Structure 1
Amino acid sequence: MNLILLHPDDLDQQGYARISDPRRLAHLRDIHRAAPGDRLTVGVQGGGMGKGALIELTPEQAVFALEPLADTPPPALPVHLVLALPRPRMLARTLEHVTALGVKEITLLHTKRVEKSYWQSPELLPEKIHQHLVLGLEQARDTQLPSITLSKGFRPFLEEQLPALLHERRGLVAHPGMSMECPRGISENTLLLVGPEGGFIPWEVEKLLEAGCQGMHLGPRILRVETAVTALLSRLF
């Protein structure tokens, strides 16, 4: 936790922040080894960042006196990530990684090779998704939560969502065997589509290309989704 991320409800009108949830308290106590008088980096979800002086730490709560939170979070990546829904354990790690890298718009998509049972996973509960996003923000010292859209049908996504997503964005489909190498160091607004572990099926690739996306590859190695997404984002931006 490189940032003590505060929810607006943690703040009072006197300029203090009060933390009472076990996870953050345990991290302050066991990882930071914090003690009253320490100044730690804090930020408010959706707001600024700065320093907070720890004035109380008990098993029940931590209280910070906040200094002006005038620092801005790091800039977001100019990308909307469309990710075929991974296995639940991989989804958790991937959400944390891409949030830490600065992705602010994420669509989780059903494709032919996505197991239907994945959509029943507890990892897709709003509170679980929020937990993973928060962990990514704390890692990267960021305060701006990504937005998450669940798209449970490929054809409805193709017909109803994709045209709007491609408006003023460059569409890139990451898929093995494409002729174009993954670009490097781009700055334009981008729609990045990444398939499941088995990849998109040929019909899905064909339809995405027909819609105006470009196919690209990362080389001859077949990577796990969480590795591929991290590599793609790092290379693209």
Structure 2
Amino acid sequence: MNLLLLEPGEVTPEGTALLRDQRHRHLRKVLGCQPGDTLKVGLLGGLCGSAIVDATDENQTRLSQIVCQQAPPAKLPLTLILALPRPKAARRICRTAAELGIEHLVLLNSYRVEKSYWQSPLLSEARILEYFYEGLEQAGDTVLPTLQIEKRFKPFVEDQLPAMLTGKRALLAHPYAAESAQGSDTPTVLVVGPEGGFIPYEIDKLCEAGMSGITLGERILRVESAVPTLLAKLFP
């Protein structure tokens, strides 16, 4: 945890906050915080700053002198459309999405996505929000990515995707594409398929909507490896 996230409603007008949840346990048992220690904090959706550990015991940690005046890191101008990964991989990818500053994440169904993935408790919206929090705390950010869940491939690609692509780079990551990933600061929509890749029908539909294929080369990567590699290439 490189930043302690606080809900704005948790902070009193006097600049104090009382923690009794997992953040208290992390501060006490993992970081070993003691009274007088200074912490980096951030208000969820707002500014970053600092706080002092005023007191801590087995049950709670009290913070004081909370002052937030610094803007969080800038977001990448990126919408990531991701075929729903395996639940355990999804945790890592959602956390990485928040760490790297993705603005908007769309989890999409496709032919090679196992139907059972959608029923996994690891992929409930509440759990995904937890993964986002982990990524923000790691990166020192306060602004959550927005989340969109689309369980029907064709209606999303035909009815919503074209409008999302207006004025943006529209890139489909596909190992057999001809063009290599290139860096730019242009607002981008990036589509990444499942472990086995999109089927030809899905690739055709995505291209009809306006996507252009890009590749990272001959090696076929796991999704959790491909996503950060693509972002490093696209936004160097």
Q: Confirm or deny: 8 A CA contact 2:16 2:66 kept in the other structure.
A: no
Question: 1:31: how far off?
Answer: 2.2
Q: Which amino acid aligns with 2:182?
A: P
Once the two structures are overlaid, the 10-residue window that deviates more, 46-55 or 203-212, is: 203-212
Q: What is the aligned partner in structure 2 of residue 7 from structure 1?
A: 7
Question: 1:158: how far off?
Answer: 1.0
Q: Which amino acid aligns with 1:149?
A: Q
Q: What is the aligned partner in structure 1 of residue 142 from structure 2?
A: 143
Which whole-Å deviations, capped at 9, do the CAs of 1:62-116 have from their partners, x for residues lacking one? 1111342011110000100000000000000100011100012000000111011
1:184-195 alignment, distance < 5 Å:
184=183, 186-195=184-193
Question: 1:30: how far off?
Answer: 2.2
The TM-score normalised by the length of structure 1 is: 0.96
Q: What is the aligned partner in structure 1 of residue 57 from structure 2?
A: 58
For residues 105 and 8 of structure 1, the distance between their equivalents in structure 2, rounded to whole angstroms, comes to: 22
Q: What is the aligned partner in structure 1 of residue 220 from structure 2?
A: 222
Q: What is the aligned partner in structure 2 of residue 172 from structure 1?
A: 171
For residues 230 and 30 of structure 1, the distance between their equivalents in structure 2, rounded to whole angstroms, comes to: 31
Question: 1:29: how far off?
Answer: 1.3
Sequence identity (%): 46
Which whole-Å deviations, capped at 9, do the CAs of 1:21-80 have from their partners, x for residues lacking one? 0x2122111222110000110001011111101101122211111342011110000100
For residues 95 and 66 of structure 2, the distance between their equivalents in structure 1, rounded to whole angstroms, comes to: 28
Which whole-Å deviations, capped at 9, do the CAs of 1:111-154 have from their partners, x for residues lacking one? 11101111101122222111100000000000001111000011
Task: Tell me if 1:19 matches 2:23.
Answer: no
Question: 1:225: how far off?
Answer: 0.4
Question: 1:8: how far off?
Answer: 2.1
Q: Which amino acid aligns with 2:176?
A: G
Question: 1:210: how far off?
Answer: 1.7
Q: What is the aligned partner in structure 2 of residue 97 from structure 1?
A: 96
Q: What is the aligned partner in structure 2 of residue 39 from structure 1?
A: 38
Q: Confirm or deny: 8 A CA contact 1:17 1:66 kept in the other structure.
A: no
Q: Confirm or deny: 8 A CA contact 2:79 2:189 kept in the other structure.
A: yes
For residues 63 and 44 of structure 1, the distance between their equivalents in structure 2, rounded to whole angstroms, comes to: 16
Q: Which amino acid aligns with 2:214?
A: M
For residues 96 and 68 of structure 1, the distance between their equivalents in structure 2, rounded to whole angstroms, comes to: 26
SS at match of 2:96: helix
Structure 2 unpaired stretches of 5+: none
For residues 155 and 94 of structure 2, the distance between their equivalents in structure 1, rounded to whole angstroms, comes to: 24
Q: Which amino acid aligns with 2:187?
A: N
Q: Which amino acid aligns with 1:12?
A: T
Question: 1:213: how far off?
Answer: 1.0
Q: Which amino acid aligns with 1:20?
A: R
For residues 85 and 52 of structure 1, the distance between their equivalents in structure 2, rounded to whole angstroms, comes to: 38
1:114-125 alignment, distance < 5 Å:
114-125=113-124
Structure 1 unpaired stretches of 5+: none
Q: What is the aligned partner in structure 2 of residue 159 from structure 1?
A: 158
Question: 1:212: how far off?
Answer: 1.3
Q: Confirm or deny: 8 A CA contact 2:15 2:67 kept in the other structure.
A: no
SS at match of 2:143: coil
Give the ranges of 4+ consecutive aligned residues of structure 1 lying more than 4 Å apart after TM superposition: none
Q: Confirm or deny: 8 A CA contact 2:38 2:52 kept in the other structure.
A: yes
Figure out how many residues of one structure are paired with residues of the other and give that number: 235
Question: 1:9: how far off?
Answer: 3.1
For residues 130 and 208 of structure 1, the distance between their equivalents in structure 2, rounded to whole angstroms, comes to: 28
SS at match of 1:137: helix
- What is the root-mean-square deviation in Å for CA atoms of aligned residues? 1.0
